[in-house]
A and B are shown apart, each in its own frame.
Chain A
């Protein structure tokens, strides 16, 4: 039997104020089950794109109640009852997936928490609605994911408020610094990719120019045309050299920022002793 929106919101209010009773748990269970079809449709489309997400068929009661108590939203407005997650290597992959999911799910809403993190949490969430049921797709890079797992696990075992900006000051500082460090690393990663791509394009142009110059010599092209082409080649070689140097510098920056991330994690481990 379909559950009306007002029934859902009344249930949300009862869950918000507690205590939980059996009939409400059953009603919540019915509501969560109603997301299965939408979830399946979203995951099927993602698999067709060659990606294999891990899914949460429905948010746990615990998380739903926690969210209702923390925020002022209604249960029917909750967009992450069902969702799935993809952990990809880098921000470059993340951008690529955002583009391909945007095409696959035209009505999607993108929530980009990379530039405006939520308590340090950085990721991209894409909300897709199928038959009025929202499904959340979480796209995390491996570093964003590592940070989120640390934040969640420390909320579990150290202090439940850590995930929402609470907890011991030294741990809050560590999470803030670590989130920022990941952001810096990923900015460099993006620049590095752009440099590698630009260098590749210049190399292709140089190869074409070299071929054209060889043909000009073979066909006895006028001297001034040949000189022009050779000047182009000199410029291209200079640009390639500059780009290569910049790429090397960025590689060095990546090594340093990776070390900085690792140092922060090792510091956090040392505090657990």
Chain B
């Protein structure tokens, strides 16, 4: 799935987010360009980015900065354990 995100860096928040199917890459790229041109005309400095992820959950895990505030990111979380299968592979490899 493709995600087109317009992000206001200084406020640390998403302005708009749109989803596209994987088959709609061209359309997503066209939309990104439209947003960038419109922002440039208005003199607005926002980050516009196209992301590719299996799901929004995955995207939220690998790119928390777009979705969470600083306090949420700083909040200590339990650590995931290493996969035992991977450890076995590494040990035997």
Name the one of B64, B73, B79, B90 contacting A92, with C-beta atoms under 8 angstroms.
B90
Question: What number of A residues sit within 8 Å (CB to CB) of B?
Answer: 59
Could you tell me the distance between the alpha carbons of A95 and B87 in the complex, rounded to whole angstroms?
10
Check if A157 sits within 8 Å of B12, measured CB to CB: yes
Check if A149 sits within 8 Å of B86, measured CB to CB: no
Name the one of A26, A29, A57 contacting B52, with C-beta atoms under 8 angstroms.
A57
Name the one of A29, A54, A89, A258 contacting B36, with C-beta atoms under 8 angstroms.
A29
Tell me whether A25 is interfacial, beta carbon within 8 Å.
yes
Check if A58 sits within 8 Å of B50, measured CB to CB: yes
Check if A52 sits within 8 Å of B74, measured CB to CB: no
Partner-binding segment picked from A113-121, A232-240, A264-272: A264-272
Tell me whether A112 is interfacial, beta carbon within 8 Å.
no
Instruction: Name the residue in A26, A56, A268 with the highest tally of chain B Cβ atoms < 10 Å from its Cβ.
Output: A56
Using known A-B contacts A25-B36, A54-B53, determine if residue A89 contacts B82 with beta carbons closer than 8 Å.
yes
Check if A268 sits within 8 Å of B74, measured CB to CB: yes
Check if A20 sits within 8 Å of B40, measured CB to CB: yes
Could you tell me the distance between the alpha carbons of A39 and B90 in the complex, rounded to whole angstroms?
28
- Enumerate chain A residues within 8 angstroms of B42, measured Cβ to Cβ: none
- Enumerate chain B residues within 8 angstroms of A196, measured Cβ to Cβ: 87
Nearest Cβ distance between residue A162 and chain B, in whole angstroms?
11
Considering only residues 51-93 of chain B, those with a C-beta below 8 Å from chain A are: 51-54, 58-59, 61-65, 68-71, 73-77, 79-83, 86-87, 89-91, 93
Check if A157 sits within 8 Å of B76, measured CB to CB: no
Check if A57 sits within 8 Å of B51, measured CB to CB: yes
- Enumerate chain A residues within 8 angstroms of B25, measured Cβ to Cβ: 36, 57
Check if B82 sits within 8 Å of A54, measured CB to CB: no
Using known A-B contacts A87-B62, A149-B65, A200-B91, determine if residue A265 contacts B51 with beta carbons closer than 8 Å.
no
Check if A61 sits within 8 Å of B50, measured CB to CB: no
Check if B76 sits within 8 Å of A262, measured CB to CB: yes
Closest A residue by C-beta to B68: A153
Closest A residue by C-beta to B80: A89
B residues lining the A interface (CB < 8 Å): 2, 9-12, 25, 29, 32-33, 36-37, 40-41, 45-54, 58-59, 61-65, 68-71, 73-77, 79-83, 86-87, 89-91, 93
Nearest first, the 10 closest Cβ-Cβ pairs linking A and B are A55-B52, A262-B76, A54-B62, A157-B12, A54-B53, A90-B82, A57-B50, A89-B80, A197-B91, A60-B49
A residues lining the B interface (CB < 8 Å): 20-22, 25-26, 29, 33, 36, 39, 43, 52-63, 84-87, 89-90, 92-93, 95-96, 99, 142-143, 145-146, 149-150, 152-154, 156-158, 160, 193, 196-197, 200-201, 258, 261-262, 265-266, 268-269, 272
Known: A60-B48, A156-B10, A272-B71. 10 other contacts (CB 8 A): A22-B37, A58-B49, A62-B47, A63-B47, A85-B62, A85-B63, A89-B79, A99-B93, A145-B62, A150-B74
